Every structure is written in C-alpha cells, then in structure tokens.
Chains A and B, each alone.
Chain A
Amino acid sequence: MHTIRLQFVAIMTALAMSASANAGRSCQEFKPDAVAVQKALQLALRTPEALDASGAQVALVGRVGCDMSKHGLRYSHMAFALRDHPKGCWFLTHMLKLNQCGTGESALYDEGLGNFFLDDVYAFEAIIVTPAPAVQARLLAVAATSLPLALYERSYSLIAHPFVTRHQNSNQWVLEQIAAAFAPIGKVRNRTDAQSWLRVREFVPSDIRIAPFELIGARLFAANVRFNDHTNEEMQAGKYQAVTVESVIRFVERVDGVAQTQVVKLP
C-alpha cells in the first residue's frame, strides 16, 4: 500500500494580482484537469533540464500564476532554485501563503518543481535567471546563513511597498536576499539594510494601478492586499509601487551585468 499526500489547492500566491479582480481574493480553489496536470508536470520536467544546461548552481525561477497583462507584466511569482538544495536536486525555496489563505500571513517553503507548477498556473511557462558565478556563490553563502529568516516578514501584502518593512510579498523576499548577495559582506543584516541598499542602487519597482472603486473591494475582501504602507500620493494616483518578477529581473540584469535569462515554454 502506498501513502501519498498531495494538495491540489491552488493558492493565489505572490503577486497574483490581476489588479482588481484578483486583488479581491486571497486564495482560490484550483481543480486542475488532466491537461493542466500533464502540462504542469511536463514543465516541471523540462525546467531542470534548462537549469542544468545553464550550468547554474542557483537560479531565479518565475512562473505565470495569473493574467497580469493589465499591468504590463507576465510573471507573477519568483523562487530560488538550488541545484544542491538540501532537500532535493533543483528544489525551490520561496514564500507562500499556503495554509494561511485569507489571513494575510505567509510562510517560507521548500518545494519541488512539480508542486511549484501544479499551483494555479495561467500559462505553462517559466523564466529562469542565472546570475554570474560570483553572484551565485554569494547567493549560496547568504542562503547558508540566518539572513533569509532575518529578511523575512510574515505580514503579507501583494502590493507591499518596496521601501517599507511593514509587509512583504514573495518577490520582495527574493529581492532582499539578492540585495544581501550583491552588497558588500556584512552590509545587509536586516530588511532595513536591504531596502536602503536597493534604494542606493536605484531599484525601480513596478507601478500597480488599482482604481479607487477597486480599492474599496480590495480593502473589504482581501486580507492579503494592504495599503497602509503606501503614501497618500500613491493612493490619490491609484498607482502603487510593488516588487514584481519583472522588476527583480530588470534589477538583477542591470546590477549583475552578465546574468542570463531564458524562458522555458510548452508549445
């Protein structure tokens, strides 16, 4: 007799903010059909092949969890993939809202690529960013310390402000570790340090537009969309700064200089 445990509850993780529509929900039940499961597993199988081909030891992997075209974005959520992950080859480490749906809190998880893509995936596509070898070495060094926990904030917001430590979104947790890796050793010890360094290095966040009428719904119904870390100017403009996959990739490509980006896409 075999015993397995699986969850097919899709979580609206990370920046699953197809603006107002998804901003009003913190979690969605996901019941994949046969085609979706097959494709997700196929993508999970092809991604490590691409990772191996890149020669990376650690890379950033992003997925398309929902339609974010309204914001000019493609990818919704990002994780670290470690070739020699202590729990399995090319396992991921990332922030999720699993088990805390609707509470506005997150947790950090180690996952296989199958789990990663069996979440609510809008398109069967992954983006992989491979930093320079020296940067990878620093990322691994950071991962081996307590910094990932020091740079983690349980209070979750899809649109957490990039330069405020009150809340955090999943891509922001990745970005702040990247800051620790790029900054001189010892310079980043907490989130305040990371954000200060990111500001100095001119990190450019994405602007997420949420119209005033959408705001009412978001405030009332979404525990994972918070506005109290944003400025009055942002509120008036209906435009909120947030860390997105695209903004992280732009930053890494600029600061790293030789980072390689590739897309794994199923036909």
Chain B
Amino acid sequence: MEQSARGVSVVVRDAGNASGQSVTLLLDGAAASAVAVGQSVQALATGVGYVLMAAGKAIAFIPNEIGQSLIHQSRYSR
C-alpha cells in the first residue's frame, strides 16, 4: 500500500503471481486512518464485489457490476 497525491494506492497480487493490479482508493476519514503505508490488505470476494480488509476491518468496497447498482451517494437534487 502506497500513498499518492490522489489517495492510497493498493497493489493487489495473486499469491502465485508477481504481477498485480493497482487500485487507487480515495479514502475518507476513518478509512484513511485505518490503513498505513506498507500495510497489506486482504481482498474478500463477495457476490457483489471485493471488500478490502486491513487489520480485520473493511476499508473499501470495490463493486462488480451488480454491486455498482447498490453503491451511490450524492446530495439530493432534482
């Protein structure tokens, strides 16, 4: 896990594969303070996407297509 100007960069690697996928998380408040540079995270597969865990706590959710239909937050506007 590395810090960047945009947020926290997490390189997700398969245990048997040296190459990895980089994901930038724009973490807010508690989530940002829950992770540290160099800390490893676990990706937990669910039916709606991956939950990234650090020290046993969820720090982010990466939704798949189904999960994307469940995740949204914006100010009320019409």
Contacts and interface: CB of A to CB of B under 8 A. Distances in A.
Nearest to A85: B72
A112 B24 contact: no
Contact of B27 (A1, A6, A45): A6
Contact of A7 (B23, B31, B66): B31
A29 B34 CA distance: 11
A128 to B, nearest CB: 16
Contact of B30 (A2, A31, A37): A31
A242 B78 CA distance: 29
A19 B56 CA distance: 30
Contacts of B22: 1
B3 interface: no
B61 A111 contact: no
A6 B30 contact: no
B73 interface: yes
B70 interface: yes
A222 interface: no
A93 interface: yes
B71 interface: yes
Nearest to A144: B78
Given A5-B28, A8-B30, A45-B47, A31 B57 contact: yes
B30 A29 contact: yes
Interface string B2-38: 0000110000000000000011111111110010000
Contacts of B29: 7, 9, 29
A107 interface: yes
B62 interface: yes
- The size bracket of the interface on B is 35 or more
Interface in B25-72: 25-31, 34, 44, 46-49, 51, 53, 56-63, 66-67, 69-72
Contacts of A29: 29-30
Given A4-B26, A7-B31, A8-B30, A34 B51 contact: yes
Nearest to B25: A4
A229 B26 CA distance: 40
Contacts of A114: 48, 61, 63, 67, 70-72
Nearest to A93: B76
A86 B74 CA distance: 12
B77 A110 contact: yes
A87 B44 CA distance: 28
A87 B72 contact: yes
B28 A108 contact: no
Interface string A92-136: 010000100000000111111111001000000000000000000
Contacts of A9: 28-31
Interface of B: 6-7, 22-31, 34, 44, 46-49, 51, 53, 56-63, 66-67, 69-78
Interface of A: 1-9, 29-34, 36-38, 41-42, 44-45, 86-89, 91, 93, 98, 107-115, 118, 143-144, 148
